[in-house]
Structure 1
């Protein structure tokens, strides 16, 4: 007597005839008629799960894991229909081949009887292709409906912090949470606080997220960049939000709820975030944790690691890589010496006697526009490659390919012309105004009454990086304009 495993899968949107109980009854009836033994431990059920991806079906993956054991625990796997096993042809081919060749186990559909001949292989492939087409078409129709709902300002996500969902799917302000939201915006915009400092203060106030957890830096940034607080709704048709807040895939529509902050405040915060992103590198230590106003700015010329501050009798900086054994060149320098060198460099710049030991780049709106245009260029290159692939695959004719290529190349030329125009504006920078900014920073750095954190902020407003070359005993500064 053969031994079988039963695999049962049902999606959330499927009818009663595909319910787990209905499938199980039909499978047991088939096993009984064909004298097949079905042990209870070999019944695998995935409920409310799509058949598109095997790795997201825990019962399916457990069944495959058991099937690989020696000796094999069962001879066949019974399914109600082949689309219960998988709605992805790729997964279906891979796992059926693995089970048949490596494990000696066959997958049998009790409602789609196939013989063991070459015509059955074609028929099985057709059934699988039809199931995959149905799955993809259903996903497209659902996405179309959700897209239309998003355009109308319909809510499709859970309530953001500061709101709750009331009847008819509308957002209502939760006042005690809204106060925290306003506090976060105020601290960032008007008190020049970092994500880190705001996180600490909000947690000290005892506030908790919607999941009853403490806030973190990412959560604070998410709140500050969420247009829901100005009465908008944000939705990503792909269903994947990768914290790319400027992605062209994101849809933003007018909502039907009360705003918590004004549009002016929100836009000012976005501009401030963009500027800070240019100045502070990702995962950099929070500014108020730095021990010196040069902490995090000075880098080793040999390995590019930052120089870390050491508070000894004679405070100094040393390459983090060298201290950890990764860099072969010591870049030790006393705090007094490097401070004196930096201040001397600033003094020369202010007087117009600057050396060639510096680079300048902008953080203005021009710089941001150039960055956005470069991203658009990358997308043009991707579209050109796809157009070529479509022609080579026989999807597009030669005329269609040429037409698409010409349009994309025209767009590319237009973008390049605009980038060149903006770069020419960058070259005409106002050095006198910049020298005045350096002068202000210089005055703050030499003033013993200015707190360390303010000195840090001031130098970071004009300097992005300092490279120290121990061998040549030189410093190279990258300035912001």
Structure 2
């Protein structure tokens, strides 16, 4: 009998019993291979443990096997499975991958416990087996979800303990050091500090998340919006909550663990969160931290990530940099700014109706004087915090002097700009189309300070979307309504 090379794919999910372990499956597969003339090298054994078969994209062993199968010459003649359900519990995935393997690559997919031939009846039986596997997966998911929903309504713990708590049995217990930091986060945010400064403060203390990571804006926001610190538990039966903290699907129930913050402090934080959210893109960095007026404005049309600066003078999709996006959107600083200014001029000159995405009460559109005064207020507040840091011993004298000198220079530049403030062309126009023109004039003026350009760009534009391949940039403007 001719010996042919074969691969083995083994998947063990959390609901599988001990007799379906990887070793048990591999033992049966090797017996089948020996009896049917297949040689099974250890390098061709692919295993996914504790992973659902519903989606192939989340199975690294499966993806590695498919990638190897596509190489030429083909590395093996067949893929041996314990059952077809190990291959996929989704009919669409099963059909796509089996068709590719059998018809395009000439690699058979064989279930050793469900022997089928090449006749019409076997084709029908395989389709029925796939349908039953998918039905089992869907039914199991519904039963698990039903049980988890009922547990959530009773206030049962279902997630890993958040920052500030540890789990003892089925109950959360405060970790004193972390609980103190959580209370301080709530107090500082209620007192006016932003998410970005709070994340920097925690990182400066050397504190890490429970997964060992650094704190980010969204990490701090999640803490401030998590009712677990009130003695409650939140769960979303439809899936991950993400950043939709106000979803109607959320289940909120009283739990038996100790609260870390008071109801009054919680209410104050939520009230400020709503206020800041209505007025600013509060999850982003403060404008003073941006390196350029483009920062935080331009997004990749494919994945929605912002473009970040890459040395020496380029911008790239942050999703691409982090491996989440397939499109780099690599573009020079000069070309990107040119596209933005050209688009603003086109919009102001009678292009298609401007797209507005944010509506909230405001005293006006692009008010240069108001923008300068806002920058002065922000810098003054930063000087106060810098002085507090120095007095508290967080900042040394040399660092304090250097930072203060830079801030004083920024304040002096703003004071000078305010003193000789002149009206931009068409400033008195009341049409929305005048705003892009006035902002473009300011951004193109090399004499204007960077801080003013940052404020102006973010005051009028909510975001831009860039599709470099199509050479297309769209701007979504902010709409200001008088109070």
**TM-score for the superposition, normalised by structure 1:** 0.63
Please report the RMSD computed on the Cα atoms of aligned residues, expressed in angstroms: 3.7
1:324 partner SS: helix
User: Is contact 2:33–2:39 with CA below 8 Å preserved after alignment?
Assistant: yes
| 1:114-129 mapped onto 2 (5 Å cutoff) | 114-129=116-131
- Name the stretch that deviates more: 321-330 or 20-29: 321-330
Alignment map for 1:4-83 (pairs within 5 Å): 4-83=6-85
185 and 49 in structure 1: CA distance in 2 versus 1, 3 angstrom threshold: same
Pairs within 5 Å for 1:49-448: 49-166=51-168, 168-189=169-190, 191-281=191-281, 284-286=284-286, 289=289, 324-327=337-340, 362=360, 445=373
Deviation, structure 1 residue 56: 1.4
Bigger mean CA deviation after superposition, 119-128 or 196-205: 196-205
Write the deviation string for residues 340-361 of structure 1: whole angstroms up to 9, x where unpaired. Answer: xxxxxxxxxxxxxxxxxxxx96
Distance verdict in 2 for CA 1:107–1:231, change over 3 Å: same
Paired position in structure 1 for 2:397: none
183 and 119 in structure 1: CA distance in 2 versus 1, 3 angstrom threshold? same
Whether the aligned pair in 1 keeps the contact of 2:79 and 2:110 (CA below 8 Å) is yes
How far apart are 1:39 and its partner, in Å?
2.1
Residues 469/48 of structure 1: CA separation in 2 closer, same or farther (3 Å cut): closer
Residues 322 and 328, structure 1, Cα contact 8 Å, conserved in 2 = no
Question: Shift of residue 325 of structure 1?
Answer: 2.5
The match for 1:469 is: 437
Aligned partners of 2:104 and 2:44: how far apart in 1? 19
- Which position in structure 2 is the counterpart of 1:420? none
Aligned to 1:478: 480
Q: Give the deviation of 1:268 after TM superposition.
A: 2.1
Question: What is the rounded CA distance, in whole Å, between the counterparts of 1:59 and 1:8 in structure 2?
Answer: 9
Conserved 8 A contact 2:195-2:283: no
Offset, 1:254: 0.6
SS in 2 for 1:325: helix
Contact 1:330 1:470 in 2 (8 A): no
Q: Which secondary structure state, in structure 2, belongs to the residue aligned with residue 6 of structure 1?
A: strand
Change (3 A) 1:30 1:268: same
CA deviation string 1:84-139 (max 9, x = no partner): 11111111111110011111111111111212111111111001111111111111
Deviation at 1:329, TM superposition (A): 6.3
Give the direction of change, closer, same or farther, for the CA distance of 1:27–1:324 in structure 2 (3 Å limit): same
Query: What CA distance in whole angstroms lies between the structure 1 residues aligned with 2:98 and 2:85?
Result: 13
2-structure distance, mates of 1:219, 1:471: 34
- Is the 1:182–1:261 Cα contact (8 Å) retained in structure 2? yes
Distance (Å, rounded) in 1 between the aligned partners of 2:290 and 2:96? 53
Partner SS, residue 181 of structure 2: helix
Q: Distance in 2 between matches of 1:27 and 1:158?
A: 37
1:310-330 deviation per Cα after TM superposition (whole angstroms, max 9, x unaligned): xxxxxxxxxx98993224569
Q: Distance in 2 between matches of 1:479 and 1:326?
A: 28
Query: Aligned partners of 2:50 and 2:341: how far apart in 1?
Result: 57
CA distance 1:206–1:18, change in 2 (3 Å) = closer
Q: Which runs of 5+ in 2 are unaligned?
A: 298-332, 345-357, 383-410, 415-431, 443-455, 461-478
- The answer on whether the counterparts of 1:361 and 1:480 sit within 8 Å (CA) in structure 2 is no
Q: Runs ≥4 in structure 1, deviation > 4 angstroms?
A: 282-285, 287-291, 320-323, 327-331, 360-364, 448-456, 470-477
Range with bigger deviation, 275-284 or 46-55? 275-284
Q: 1: CA distance between counterparts of 2:272 and 2:218?
A: 16
